[in-house]
Amino acid sequence: MADQLIIFDTTLRDGEQSPGASMTKDEKLRIARQLERLKVDVIEAGFAASSNGDFDAVQLIANSIKDATICSLSRANDRDISRAAEALKGANRARIHTFIATSALHMEKKLRMSPEQVLEQAKQSVRFARNLCADIEFSPEDGYRSDMDFLCRVIEAVINEGATTINVPDTVGYAIPELYGNFIKTLRERVPNSDKAIWSVHCHNDLGMAVANSLAGVKIGGARQIECTINGLGERAGNCALEEVVMAVKTRRDYFNLDLNIDAQHILAASRMVSQITGFVVQPNKAVVGANAFAHASGIHQDGVLKARDTYEIMRAEDVGWSANKIVLGKLSGRNAFKQRLQELGVSLESEVETNAAFARFKELADRKSEIFDEDILALVNDESLANVQEQYGFVSLVQHSETGERPYARVVFTVDGKEVTSEAEGNGPVDASLKAIEAHAQSGAEMVLYSVNAISGSTESQGEVTVRLQNSGRVVNGVGADPDIVVASAKAYLHALNKLHSKAERVAAQG
Ligand code: KIV
Ligand code: ZN
């Protein structure tokens, strides 16, 4: 019989730690719902003690998501652990994930603690957490660069205190697949009570090997939980990508012989949602979810695939959520067709009111654009939920003028705390003029560190999806906006970024 492989998603915690990827509570809940549809086993919803915003998000997700285990990260101290337990009260199944660094470098330079002090604190925290929650995960941070003898002592001790999952992070992405796999294997062989816990892998992608290392941890090391994020989102070069690791285990079941609960049909929608919410664009050649992942350009390949699909395809595009028929709806499509397509895309809007509002926007878009693609619908739904949130700034309308030889001008109408304001400016181009007009009123003082436009469905008729990254007082946020008019999309993205800049309180970093 095949073993079960647990998929632990940390998009909302480790993924969110990526600079600029911060999400609002409602955005996190939308992603959590999509992860539930995807049937991930554990959702790490945040780091409850890091900020009030994170606490609220963990609490909201714990109260709303009933199929997955909901987890909160916490440092190894009583206050953090109590906050995590408090936020998780409403969960059907809750997990507290506590961590402390165990590498000589981190203990000496970061924690300024001796190994014996770290061992004591790890034990105490797991003991404390175990009194509040039955499901306890322990991570020795920078575990892969830790001394093997010391790590064995810490792990044995925390299992004795009641830790049910032992996660071995390659915090800095230093591992090599074979070495990491053997590291987990040795730990499991040397820790006397290793069979009392589930072993987990958590790999960062600094050398581009997070997926390979995780799979080696499973195959060679015998781990039965993988920690990963949608699109590999995460600090620096990111984490192990859920879509890649899941499809590797599914496609090569002959080799891994492991069962997964994941419903892969929802992978693409999850990838799109995370990309649109965070503004982190998915590269076209990204495995499984990139625009070209199933595109065959060469004549020989096209001919082969038409004759027999498996000549050049090892997975079916439909199995991960790509639809065969990409032109889905148009001006004449009705409400039912729209609702059905939403369902097929794995999007469930919370209420009839939301569905009606999304349908109205769909009609508005269909008046301006003859063919509506899946990508348009997903962007529209995302835009709709942005519009629903009571944000400080909201887009109303825009007029711009540009002509060869003249300085472009824009007048933007937007709301500030519900009140309409009009602001105008000139700029180097119509986008520049529009954003300057908004900034002239908002006076955020933020520096723009990235501006990018992406044609959602690949032609000039398509909607432009704009990402704006702003930096202010050490905080980095991404704003996203979509519209067939890229100047309007840019203004929406800028306002979205301003809302994010103003909405989040300071937070404590997990690896700080
Ligand atoms: O990478 C890491 O070490 C982490 C821990 C907090 C689990 O994310
Ligand atoms: Zn991590």
- The CATH number of the domain where 264 resides is what? 3.20.20.70
Give the closest ligand to the alpha carbon of residue 50. Answer: 1
Which helix (H) or strand (E) is 238 found in, with range?
Answer: none
| 177 lies in the same domain as 214 | yes
Distance in Å, CA 171 to ligand 1 centroid: 6
Residue 65 lies in a domain: yes
Distance in Å, CA 480 to ligand 2 centroid: 25
Residue 338 lies in a domain: yes
Q: List residues near ligand 1 (CB under 6 A).
A: 14, 99, 139, 141, 169, 171, 202, 204, 510
CA–CA separation, 446 vs 435, rounded Å?
12
Residue 93 lies in a domain: yes
Residue 125 lies in a domain: yes
Q: What are phi and psi of 172, to 5 degrees?
A: -110, 10
Give the closest ligand to the alpha carbon of residue 98. Answer: 1
For residue 169, which atom of ligand 1 is closest to its CA?
Answer: 3
CA–CA separation, 146 vs 217, rounded Å?
16
For residue 142, which atom of ligand 1 is closest to its CA?
Answer: 3
Pocket test for ligand 1, best of 81, 96, 139, 167 (most atoms within 8 A of CB): 139
Taking a C-beta distance cutoff of 8 angstroms, is the pair 62, 94 a contact?
A: yes
| 269 lies in the same domain as 338 | no
| 215 lies in the same domain as 91 | yes
Task: Count the Cβ atoms, other than its own, within 10 Å of residue 480.
Answer: 26
Taking a C-beta distance cutoff of 8 angstroms, is the pair 490, 409 a contact?
A: no
Residue 511 lies in a domain: no
Nearest residue (CA) to ligand 1, atom 7: 139
Instruction: Give the CA distances from residue 95 to residues 196, 226, 249, 268, 347, in Å, rounded to whole numbers and listed in that order.
Output: 17, 15, 25, 27, 27
| 379 lies in the same domain as 426 | no
Instruction: Please tell me the total count of domains within the chain.
Output: 4
Nearest residue (CA) to ligand 1, atom 5: 141
Distance in Å, CA 511 to ligand 1 centroid: 7
- E-strand stretches of 237-320: 258-259
| 199 lies in the same domain as 91 | yes
Q: What is the pLDDT of residue 505?
A: 46
Residue 174 lies in a domain: yes
| 206 lies in the same domain as 345 | no
Distance in Å, CA 487 to ligand 2 centroid: 37
Q: What is the pLDDT of residue 322?
A: 87
Give every residue of the chain whose pLDDT is below 50, as ranges: 325, 505-506, 512
CA–CA separation, 354 vs 65, rounded Å?
19
| 114 lies in the same domain as 146 | yes
| 225 lies in the same domain as 172 | yes
Pocket test for ligand 1, best of 12, 102, 141 (most atoms within 8 A of CB): 141
Tokens of 11: 């998009």
Give the closest ligand to the alpha carbon of residue 141. Answer: 1
Distance in Å, CA 495 to ligand 2 centroid: 31
Distance in Å, CA 195 to ligand 2 centroid: 24
Q: Rounded to 10 degrees, what is the CA torsion of 458, 460, 464, 466?
A: 90
Give the ranges where 76-176 is alpha helix by DSSP (H): 78-87, 104-105, 115-130, 148-160
| 439 lies in the same domain as 414 | yes
| 401 lies in the same domain as 309 | no
Q: Residue 464 is part of which domain span?
A: 389-503
Count of helices and strands (H, E) across the chain: 17, 18
Distance in Å, CA 336 to ligand 2 centroid: 43
For every residue of 411-478, DSSP letters joined together read EEEEEETTEEEEEEEE-SSHHHHHHHHHHHHH---PEEEEEEEEETTSSTTSPEEEEEEEEETTEEEE
| 378 lies in the same domain as 394 | no
Residue 424 lies in a domain: yes
Nearest residue (CA) to ligand 1, atom 2: 171
Angle among Cα 236, 57, 171 to the nearest 5 degrees reads: 25
Q: What are phi and psi of 448, to 5 degrees?
A: -85, 120
For residue 510, which atom of ligand 1 is closest to its CA?
Answer: 6
Distance in Å, CA 169 to ligand 2 centroid: 7
Among residues 209, 218, 262, 271, the alpha carbon closest in space to that of 240 is found at 209
| 333 lies in the same domain as 419 | no
